[in-house]
Amino acid sequence: MGNTRSYQGLFIIHPDKEEAAEEVRGSIKSIISENSGTVVDEKTIGKKMLATPIKKQKEGIYYEVSFKAEPSAVEKIVRLCRINTDIMRTLIDKVKASVAEE
In this prediction, residue 96 carries a pLDDT of 84
Give the residue-averaged pLDDT of 28-46: 90
**How far is residue 51's CA from residue 58's CA, in Å, rounded to a whole number?**
8
Tell me whether residue 84 is in a domain: yes
pLDDT in tens, 21-32: 888 888 999 999
CATH code at position 87: 3.30.70.60
Distances (CA, A) of 71 to 10, 16, 21, 25: 17, 32, 27, 22
Residue 42 belongs to a domain:
yes
pTM comes to 0.85
Q: What is the mean pLDDT of residues 46-54?
A: 92
φ, ψ (nearest 5 deg) of residue 2: -80, -30
- 49 — pLDDT class (breaks 50, 70, 90): very high
* Domain span including residue 39: 5-94
